[in-house]
Amino acid sequence: MNQDHQECTVPPTNDKHDVEKAVPSPPSNRAQERPYSIYTPAERWFIVVMASVAALFSPLAAMTYMPAIPVIAADFHKSVELINLTVTVYMVFQGISPVFWGTLADYVGRRPIFLSCMLVLTVACIGLASTPTSDYWLLLVLRCVQAAGSASTVALGAGVIGDIATRAERGSFFGLFSVGPLFGPTFGPVIGGVLTQTLGWRWIFWILAIASALCFVALLVFFPETLRQLVGDGSVLPSRFYRPLVPLVGHGRQGMTTERPLRVPFVNPLRILTYPDVLALLLFNAVQYAVFYAIIATISTIFQSTYSFLNETETGLCFLASGLGTIIGGYVIGKIMDRDYRLLKEKLACEHRITSDTPGSREAIVYEENFPIEKARLKTIPIQLLICIACCAGYGWCLHQKVNIAVSLVLQFIFCFSVMAILNTTQTLLVDLLPTQGSSVTACNNLVRCALGAACVSVIDLMLNGVGVGWTYTILALISLSTSPMIWLILWLGPRSRAKRRVRNN
């Protein structure tokens, strides 16, 4: 048979050979032979699970508070609008604080910043639980402090994944990691409602204080330092300050390397916003997040007005449809991203007739400078966006027509499944583009999307009252549709922007 017509077969790629360098330079043979991380798969899952549990507190602290707002307003003798101001300032600090903590984590280390955030959160929750009802100003201040402590854990977790996982594995790790932060929107309102009704609103903060203190202890005892500037692939033994009290992971493999990794110079995290490909990705992600938050934030009011037979507990249970959609969507898309990455790598190897014996083959295909990572990550985004648009508009008109509640909940589930697939995909790509600034770029993502989300929530009631629920969600669907050209813009901008950054850093 003619060799040109033979099927192209390439030995499966081995993820442990994927090397991502902080400073772009041709990888050496020695670098290719070493794994990206010394941790075993089970150890890396353990690290990500711990980071996911810590990241749970950001949305949990926000959502458990929501059902208690009317009761807190009555106890403080303030209007609901003034108590809602404590929600607004929480969102503001939820967007701003990760820029500070995330940037520190990229240079000081993940472990000390994780511990600092959990300590601040614990102290703030104790203060909130003890706040006198005559001191509204203290409630406002402590909510800011609470947000400053809890909100940054998501950015820190994203940085950890960038430290220990290659591009080929990041999708699955982000899928698992997202389960923790998504637990808050799913079960937070239910937990807050039950606590408020049975034990009183102060127990929301006491429970959060106890849980965050336990998380602090667990991180102190078991969580290792992963920042590559400090520990490299994990084989560099850091100072005692950075080591867990009980080293469950990497034990016996640390200290094998005495050569300290190169320190990357400090970069202003807001400079990330000047990178065209990253900025386009942040804006695309922020619009989808704002539409998602507009749906989540209005579930209680719209469902109670549309389906008057619902009581407060049943309304809280309606959040489970959106919550389960986001959790399942985040986990499934992680597996899909890993598959798409692997298939594109194999396809490129076939097209270039590259095998494991081809000189320089791994540099040509696997090395991060040359691999079309945008194409691998964004493959499913167009179809996910179309599903979101259709479900968003359909959801609005189903509520307008007061169809069976099951239809609205199913559409809510499908929308949240697809939108979380989009949000997780863009988050993973952001870390792929700037792996040495994983926490900083996630913090910038949080800043942009929280700002747009807060703006959307601030006008959603005006839209609902002005044009009705059907047209409100149709307009939001059209806004999402208007962002679709940005997908192809990112595919075009990505390789060019990465090349410019590479030249500038050399």
pLDDT digits (tens, 9 = 90+) for 377-394: 888 899 999 999 999 999
> Would you state the structure tokens that stand for residue 362, as one six-digit string?
């791994």
Band (177; pLDDT cuts 50, 70, 90) = confident
pLDDT of residue 388: 93
Band (258; pLDDT cuts 50, 70, 90) = low
Band (312; pLDDT cuts 50, 70, 90) = low
pLDDT of residue 203: 93
Contacts of residue 223, Cβ cutoff 8 Å, sequence gap at least 6: 47, 50, 51, 111, 114, 244
Per-residue pLDDT tens over the stretch 87-104? 778 878 887 888 888 778
Integer Cα distance of 52 and 177 in angstroms: 5
298 compared with 490, residue with greater pLDDT: 490
Integer Cα distance of 388 and 355 in angstroms: 40
pLDDT of residue 206: 95
Q: Mean pLDDT in the chain?
A: 80
Integer Cα distance of 502 and 93 in angstroms: 33
475 compared with 2, residue with greater pLDDT: 475
Long-range contact pairs involving 107-110 (C-beta distance under 8 Å, separation at least 24): 107/229, 107/264, 107/266, 109/225, 109/227, 109/230, 109/238, 109/242, 110/156, 110/159, 110/160, 110/163, 110/225, 110/226, 110/227, 110/439
User: What is the arithmetic mean of pLDDT over 260-283?
Assistant: 76
User: What is the arithmetic mean of pLDDT over 443-448?
Assistant: 82
Question: Is the pLDDT score of 205 beyond 80?
Answer: yes
Question: Is the pLDDT score of 228 beyond 80?
Answer: yes
The pTM of this model reads 0.74
Give the residue from 144, 55, 128, 60 showing the smallest Cα distance to 94.
Answer: 144
pLDDT of residue 5: 45
Give the residue from 14, 137, 51, 41 showing the smallest Cα distance to 438.
Answer: 51
Band (20; pLDDT cuts 50, 70, 90) = very low
Show the domains of the chain with their CATH numbers: 37-266 (1.20.1250.20), 268-506 (1.20.1250.20)
> Would you state the structure tokens that stand for residue 248, as one six-digit string?
């469950």
Per-residue pLDDT tens over the stretch 109-150? 889 999 999 999 999 999 999 999 888 899 999 999 998 888
Per-residue pLDDT tens over the stretch 35-68? 778 888 888 899 999 999 998 888 888 888 877 8
